[in-house]
Structure 1
Amino acid sequence: MTGTSTGPAAKGQSSATVERERLLRVLALATFIIFFQAFMVAPIIPQLSATFGTSAETVGLIVPAYLIPYGIATLAYGLLADRLGIRPLIFASLAAFAVLTVLTATAHSVAALAAWRVLTGLGASGVVPLALVLVGGMFPYEQRGRPLGGLFGAMAGGMAFGSTFGAVLEPYIGWRGLFLLVGTAGAGVLLLLLPYRGFIGARPRQAVATLGDLFRGYRDLLGTQRGRRTYGYVLLNSVFQSGVFTWLGVYFERRYNLGPVGIGLALLGYGVPGFLFGPVIGRVADRLGRARLLPIGLGLGSLATTALILGLPLLAAAIAVTILSLGYDMTQPLFAGIVTSLGGMRPGQAMGLNVFFLFTGFGLGSLVFSNVLRLGFGPALGAFATVEAAAALASVALFRSEIPPGTARNLSQKPQTTQ
């Protein structure tokens, strides 16, 4: 009797679970493509510099030209998602990404290329934050480590393959071919997402917010100690990671005299740890607590950057790049997990603010590093490594409350975990 009554419910639950997992894979693929095109640009800065006959520093401006508008636009997408629902926005944003990426191939100057990158950043910035919001709604907080690790693993994979194959493919298909290829791939992912529009549309829409609600929401998110420290570290860590990564192509060209293929192979390790172990890192964070992993991740980033100063053999420098990536994979996904618990009734706004700080930090990092780079790679890398090391030490105390509920029972009952 019990089996008969629970059978249909169990079957429905199983079907929903299967669809949820399939949607997660499609969202991961979309995330992979978005990050592939974002990270395929930095390694080909030397080639674009030669093509357009201008300095690498000038061409390097196309990186923040994409990343900063991307970060700013996520604030609007987060708000609109809470008002209009996720489905129309994620489809529109993915379509804009595909079209604008293809049109980028028509640029005939650095200025035109930068303009297309600005537009692409504005149009494409809804996909990843809305995917993160979907995951936050599909999984309870104590189970979000794995799916969030999967999405951030897809980000890491996009970074790895974008930074590598952007440089490797450019001599064969040209930079225009790269944008055409990625834009076409984006259109293909859009088609794969269409069968799940009903499931996405079934996600509950949040209450309509006024402009005053919007500002109160940001005030509430940043008005707690937990919110300030989490978003602050998202910004600081993204400035660090992007600042170092954006200029690694130029670093390997100047220090090791590598060409495009060599640069691509040297950067192969960036993103690989997250791509392979993202869900595993997420499970470990769920089990042991983010408080234990965050200082390690931040410290690894600082250690890897310090190693790049030392004039290591090429293979050792490539390994340092992989360790730098592992530092990213052990931090930003964990911060995103915390953010999913901050939003309350407005998860879109909370995640939009997270991605705003993430991508704004990416853009600012490339700008700040390019200015410090005037002193040379040694001082620039040293300055970034020092700040990241200080952040790692401070995080031990700042994130000590980010532990699993079972562990929290052994601590005094303080309001730290809800700050």
Structure 2
Amino acid sequence: MKNVTPRQASFQEDQNPQIMRARLSQWRIAFASIVGTMLEWYDFTIYNTMAALIFGRLFFPSAQPRVGMILAFSTYAVGYVSRPVGAVVFGWIGDRYGRRTVLVFALTLMGACTASIAVLPTFESIGIVAPLGLSIVRFLQGLALGGEWAGAVLIATEHGSAHRQGRNSSWAQMGPAAGILLATFVIGGVGIFMPDRAFLSWGWRVPFALSAFLMVFGLWVRRAVPETPVFAKSRHEAGAPPLVEVLRKHKAALAIASSSRIGTDVLYSLLLIFSISYITQFLDMPRSVALGCTLTGSACELVAIPVFGSLIDRIGCRKVYAGGILAGSLITLAFFPVFGMKLPLAIFGLTAIGTVSHAAMYAAQGTFITNQFPSTVRYTGSSLAYTLGSLAGGSAFAPLIMSSIVGGWTGTWGITLYVMVTLAVTAAGIVAAGHRTPSEQS
């Protein structure tokens, strides 16, 4: 028999049709997990950038500049208020009829809502109906997003190996960084090649319209992904609704999982959302510095998340989470002193370090939250925890709270204290999870 070298064996293995199909399926599942959260944060970045730069003038022109900015962020928060409703509705569908069913419908609704902002008239055209229409669109989008994240994580982890949960759940967590990078490049490109007057008139609509292409690509990927084997084994039609079962039997798990979101999201809001308006309006620095800050942070996070995802599989989820909390606390204390220097390189450097610390927490979040619930109610429990955590203090109101605090008597120290308290809440949740028995963590 002819001797085969390791290199030849590897090549023959790569040409094996079954292995090639398995690898193709794995990559398709990864993309299916990433694309929904990518679209979510593509919109997240576009809206928050526009809210910080121009939405106050377009939809709330009668308000003072700072008040207009607060009202624009308030409209954004409407989308978070509706997320728990979406978590309940889509969680029930996901636990009863399948993860894939929810992911296809949620992506369609989310993409359609994002694209519709591109044709929404402003206050100048239809008066008070304009901000009302914006609020309705954000509410509908929040419904879709309420069921999106848990499905994106579960479609990856329930198809993959139990020993690769950290890596597989980190795929969905890579979507936000990818979406932010894409959105920032789009906004930057439109801003560079378009005069300010044209950008204010109609150019801001272009990034929202382009989201339709991302939605079509996502649907093409997700429709080809089969239902997860875990759902096929645990599926049950009878019994109490998943929401009732979560509230009746898994209240502690819901509280712990929700707390894991709070400090993580508030830190992120400080680094990459509030910083945009702080740089441009309070430090009076160019818009290019704010966009550069976003690009730097998102690029670092995109690289760091899969690294931490693999580390989770080696040393455990809670250790990685705790390390991220500690580093994030130190970054919070340094944020305003460093930004106050008004040196772009210093701002970019702190943002890079800060987003890496956030990446440690965010990479662990998918594994941590979903593991708090049994498979029969995992979709509902995870969706509720994810959305309630945002409402309790995360991305829902953090930019609004920070914008309000910075103009008050506490100034920047008030924001620092606010972020530190939320990180302490998340740390308490991580500690509490370690005191639960295996049966309680089912």
Structure-to-structure mapping, 1:143-292, within 5 angstroms: 143-163=164-184, 165-166=186-187, 169-170=190-191, 172=194, 174-196=203-225, 199-200=226-227, 204=232, 206-208=235-237, 210-211=239-240, 213-223=242-252, 228-242=255-269, 245-292=272-319
Q: Which residue of 2 aligns with 1:79?
A: 92
1:331 aligned partner: 361
Residue of structure 1 equivalent to 2:69: 56
CA contact (8 A) 1:339 1:354 kept: yes
TM-aligned CA deviation for residue 358 of structure 1: 4.3
Unpaired runs of 5+ in structure 2? Answer: 1-12, 123-129
Counterpart amino acid of residue 416 in structure 2 = G
Cross-structure match for 2:9: none
> Structure 2 CA distance, aligned partners of 1:228 and 1:69?
19
1:304-383 alignment runs, 5 A limit: 304-310=331-337, 311-312=340-341, 313-344=343-374, 345-360=376-391, 361-375=394-408, 377-383=411-417
Tell me: CA distance 1:98–1:212, structure 2 relative to 1, closer, same or farther (3 Å): closer
Aligned-pair CA distance for 1:211? 4.9
What are the superposed Cα offsets for residues 229-268 of structure 1, whole Å, 9 maximum, x if unpaired?
3322223432443356432111010244234333211221
Residue matched to 2:8: none
Measure, in 1, the Cα distance between the counterparts of 2:266 and 2:423: 14
1:147 & 1:300 partners in 2: Cα distance?
24
Q: Which amino acid aligns with 2:162?
A: Y
Match of 1:128 in 2: 149
Q: Percent identity?
A: 15
- 1:399 Cα offset (Å): 5.6
The answer (yes or no) to whether the contact 1:294–1:395 under 8 Å persists in 2 is no
Query: CA distance change for structure 1 residues 285 and 48 in 2, over 3 Å: closer, same or farther?
Result: same
| 1:384 Cα offset (Å) | 2.6
SS state at 2:326 partner: helix
Q: Give the AA of the match of 1:273.
A: C
Find out whether 1:20 has 2:26 as its counterpart.
yes
Q: Partner letter of residue 384 of structure 1?
A: Y
Summarize deviations over 1:67-119 as a string: whole Å, max 9, x none.
Answer: 33234412321121111222332211111122222211222233322221222
Q: In the aligned structure 2, how far is the partner of 1:302 from the partner of 1:16?
A: 42
Q: 1:349 to 1:125 in 2, by over 3 A?
A: closer
Q: Aligned to 2:119, what secondary structure does the other structure show?
A: coil
**Aligned residues of 2:279 and 2:290 also touching (Cα < 8 A):** yes
Gap runs ≥5 in structure 1: 1-6, 402-413
Over 3 Å counting, the alpha-carbon distance change for 1:415 and 1:30 in structure 2 is closer
Distance 1:131 1:390, change over 3 A: closer
Alignment check: 8 A CA contact 1:160 1:271 kept: yes
Match in the other structure for 1:405: none
Q: Please tell me the residue identity of whatever aligns with 1:99.
A: A
Residue in 2 aligned with 1:3? none
How much does 1:158 deviate?
Answer: 1.9
The structure-2 alpha-carbon separation of the partners of 1:84 and 1:99, relative to structure 1 and needing over 3 Å to count, comes to same
Q: Summarize the Cα distance change of 1:342–1:83 in structure 2 as closer, same or farther, 3 Å threshold.
A: same
SS at match of 1:331: helix
Over 3 Å counting, the alpha-carbon distance change for 1:348 and 1:394 in structure 2 is closer
The correspondence for 2:322, drawn from 287, 292, 295, is 295
1:346 & 1:41 partners in 2: Cα distance? Answer: 32
Partner Cα distance (1:322, 1:395) in 2: 26
In structure 2, distance between residues paired with 1:89 and 1:416: 29
Change (3 A) 1:118 1:39: same
- Please give the alpha-carbon distance, in whole angstroms, between the structure 1 residues aligned to 2:189 and 2:287: 6
Asked if the contact 1:298/1:327 (under 8 Å) is kept, the reply is yes
From the superposition, tell whether residues 209 and 314 of structure 1 become closer, same or farther in structure 2 (CA, over 3 Å): farther
Give the CA deviation at 1:383: 1.7
TM-score in terms of structure 1 length? 0.83
Task: Quote the offset at 1:146 in angstroms.
Answer: 0.8
Deviation at 1:328, TM superposition (A): 2.1
State which drifts further: 70-79 or 94-103.
70-79
SS at match of 1:366: helix
**Take 1:380 and 1:165, find their aligned partners in 2: how far apart are those partners?**
34
In structure 2, what is the equivalent of residue 101 of structure 1? 114
Provide the rounded CA distance (Å) in 2 between the counterparts of 1:126 and 1:309.
35
Cα deviations across residues 134-166 of structure 1 (Å, max 9, x unaligned)? Answer: 123112333111111222122222234435644
Whether the aligned pair in 2 keeps the contact of 1:152 and 1:333 (CA below 8 Å) is yes
